[in-house]
Amino acid sequence: MTDFGEVRHDSADTSTTSRRFNLANDSIGSHDFWIEVPTGTHRFISLPAPTTRQRQLRKPLEEDGLILGHRRASEAAATETYSIPASARPLAYEAPVTREGAYSYTDEELFHDLGDLLGSLSHKYGDDPQMVATDVTRVLALVDFVQPGERQVYFTPGVERLLVPRPPEVSAEGQYAEQLETVFSGRFDEVAIYFRMGFAEAAAAARGE
Amino acid sequence: MSSLEIEIPTEAIGMLPIDHEQERIRDFSHALKRLQVIRPAEIDTDFTDERPVPFAIKRFLAFEHEDTLTFYTNPDVLGAPVDRVRFSPRISRVGKQSRHGVFFGDLQLGPGLQVPVAVKPHLDEERDSCLDEYFNTLAITQLGMSTLVELGFIYGDREEDPAYSITVLQEGLSTLDSVDWSSFYPDIEEHPGMLALWKGAAYQAAKLHAPGNRSHGDLAGRNVGEKGGALSDQTRVILLDWESATIGGQPPRDAEVRYSHSHSDITTIVESMCRSTDVDFRAGIGVFAGKSGDWWQGFRAVFLDSYLERRRQILDQTAADAATVRDVNEELAELEKSLQQDVAMYQDLALVS
Ligand SMILES: Nc1ncnc2c1ncn2[C@@H]1O[C@H](COP(=O)(O)OP(=O)(O)OP(=O)(O)O)[C@@H](O)[C@H]1O
């Protein structure tokens, strides 16, 4: 990925979300857009309806509230739509935040939570473990201005279509860390420990420790 | 005592880092409790005054202002008096470089009315800057620039009264300092989205400077933002933080006056782009810092060419008289020359350090 988001054409009543915020992913046919309604403008992601297998993969993630936004579509529709927060943005272009405070979300917390999120994904599917098939930063979204205690990182809608079975010899954690290292270059080294801690905590939680 | 409880020795408490953010939020909540009046502010800015905003502030202080700590609301946003306000903070990543220590949350304005806000403290000797911020922002909005929406300001008569300016929270706002620019230059053409953002910034600056008697006063990267939302929305790049703005009531006398307004802003943008993010003093956004290549050509391609093109377009569209055309051309020629020197200086400095 070389630039802010992906941009697609608009239809008459909608407009594509600006690039800095755009969470669309062409490879799964998702579209990030705004609709103007009398009460204001609202942001959505739409994508083709999932297959049965994809629905199964999504279920545990959805149950734990790990997917961004609220899914709107009925099970039968040809497309499904998520309403998502205005502040949600891709992880990839985030400048570092290091100032600490009870109301700051620093890089340390961010990468810890990413580790936790990806760690929980790794332990969701029992003896059919899954991992993200593409660059992991493409399926992660950050939400800003949250209430204390609220989650700040999520999987983007459609993540279930980008999962593949993890071969036993592959370390998902190692692969994710490598990808984060590529996207955040030297910066990731400083926070890699928090990422690993988050990942390990999720594993421990999954084992019921 | 169970083994999990840890007793912190009293002498260590003094060593715990102070959470300034939390302190600011606590002070703000206290200030809200002390409010005696919450009412719309009647403010009229006369753009034919020589210095419209300072004159409007003078009128406000002479005729409108209460003795006690008061929350003056923007009548366009909150037109009716309110009894009581409460604040609950939100957690964020943005705004952490703010000099004033901006924080975010929700203002509860009576039952059923909750407004998400950004709160900026203006403390001690800087108290009056809250008036500058509020009045300038309102004026610049009236003049047709798109920016943040002011909800109001809190101000009192006594030296020890705190002062705050409060804007409506733009949840989908991304300022240039919240973007990691390290991979942008020199392969700028590979980043059309990032380029578009700079072009939007250049257009906004050109619009501001075109009349020749206005400047932003602190046009660093953190004060240029993109409103999330529709890609097709032309006003999605906005300038914010108008506290140090100058808005003239009279047409500029000559090219030199025009130049003084545009140069001070563009040179701030240059500095912000050239300086590194990881310094404590005057941190920039790191567009060019640490990169080899010709920064001047980079600055032209990223910002200046769009700015100059837009300035000339506006000049053509406004059917200016011959004297104005001459002045603006002189201003822009001078601007280009001095900016080239500025960029060269920052590149030299970077080589040394
Ligand atoms: N209403 C708002 N909605 C969303 N974000 C905001 C809002 N107001 C401020 N911010 C964020 O807070 C940051 C700091 O705001 P601002 O520049 O007004 O504060 P400041 O203390 O005057 O900063 P400076 O250091 O430039 O003087 C902005 O860059 C922006 O990211």
Domain ranges of chain A: 26-84, 89-206
Question: What's the mean pLDDT in B294-306?
Answer: 97
For position A120, what pLDDT does the model report? 96
CA of B297 to the centre of ligand 1 (A): 30
Q: Chain B within 8 Å of A148 (Cβ-Cβ)?
A: yes
* Contact (CB, 8 A) for B208 and B258: no
Hey, are the CB atoms on B193 and A94 less than 8 Å from each other? no
Retrieve residue B179's tokens. Answer: 């973007």
pLDDT exceeds 60 at position B172:
yes
Note the ipTM here. 0.90
User: Which residues in A88-123 are b (16+ Cβ under 10 Å) and which e?
Assistant: bbbbbbbbbbeeebebbbbbbbbbbbbbbbbbbbbe
Which of chain B's residues have a Cβ under 8 Å away from the Cβ of A100? Answer: 17, 19
Confidence bin at B223 (pLDDT 50/70/90): very high
Average pLDDT of chain B to the nearest whole number: 91
* Contact (CB, 8 A) for A98 and A180: no
**Going by C-beta distance under 8 Å and a sequence separation of 6 or more, which residues neighbour residue B314?**
B206, B207, B210
For position B2, what pLDDT does the model report? 41
Structure pTM? 0.92
CA of B273 to the centre of ligand 1 (A): 18
For position B3, what pLDDT does the model report? 42
CATH of B10-168, one of 3.30.200.20, 1.10.340.30, 3.40.50.2300, 3.40.50.150: 3.30.200.20
Peptide bond into B81 cis (omega under 30): no
For position B73, what pLDDT does the model report? 95
Confidence bin at B1 (pLDDT 50/70/90): very low
Helices (H), A51-185: 52-63, 107-122, 172-184
Distance CA A72, CA A74 (A): 7
Hey, are the CB atoms on A21 and B228 less than 8 Å from each other? yes
Hey, are the CB atoms on A87 and B172 less than 8 Å from each other? yes
For position A1, what pLDDT does the model report? 43
Question: What's the mean pLDDT in B194-210?
Answer: 95
pLDDT exceeds 50 at position B4:
no
Hey, are the CB atoms on B194 and A86 less than 8 Å from each other? no
Retrieve residue B152's tokens. Answer: 């109001």
Hey, are the CB atoms on A34 and B230 less than 8 Å from each other? yes
For position A141, what pLDDT does the model report? 97
Q: B246 in ligand 1 pocket by Cβ < 6 Å? A: no
The H or E element containing residue B107 is strand B103-109
Hey, are the CB atoms on A110 and B193 less than 8 Å from each other? no
Mutate to test the pocket of ligand 1, among B21, B92, B94 (most ligand atoms within 8 A of CB): B94
Q: Which atom in ligand 1 lies closest to the alpha carbon of residue B148?
A: 1
- Choose, out of A37, A103, A185, the residue to mutate when testing the contact with B (most B CBs < 10 Å): A103
Q: Chain B within 8 Å of A8 (Cβ-Cβ)?
A: no
Mutate to test the pocket of ligand 1, among B216, B222, B224 (most ligand atoms within 8 A of CB): B222
Retrieve residue A144's tokens. Answer: 């800003």
pLDDT exceeds 90 at position B165:
yes
Retrieve residue B220's tokens. Answer: 């660093």
Across the interface, of A89, A145, A150, the residue whose CB is closest to B104 is A145
pLDDT exceeds 80 at position B11:
no
Retrieve residue B328's tokens. Answer: 């603006």
Confidence bin at B351 (pLDDT 50/70/90): confident
CA of B73 to the centre of ligand 1 (A): 19
% of chain B with per-residue pLDDT over 70: 93
Across the interface, of B19, B171, B229, the residue whose CB is closest to A85 is B171
Of B193, B297, B54, nearest to A89 by C-alpha is: B193
Q: For tokens 């906004």, name the residue.
A: B204
Q: Where are the domains of chain B?
A: 10-168, 174-352
Amino acid present at A207: R
Amino acid present at A172: A
- Low-confidence residues of chain A, pLDDT below 70? 1-14, 73-75
Q: Which residues pair with B227 in a beta bridge?
A: B173
Q: Which residues pair with B108 in a beta bridge?
A: B86, B114
Distance CA B85, CA B28 (A): 11
For position A77, what pLDDT does the model report? 82
Q: Chain B within 8 Å of A15 (Cβ-Cβ)?
A: yes
The H or E element containing residue B152 is strand B150-155
Across the interface, of A85, A94, A105, the residue whose CB is closest to B180 is A94
Q: Mind listing the pLDDT tens digit for each residue in B268-286?
A: 999 999 999 887 778 899 9
For position B83, what pLDDT does the model report? 85
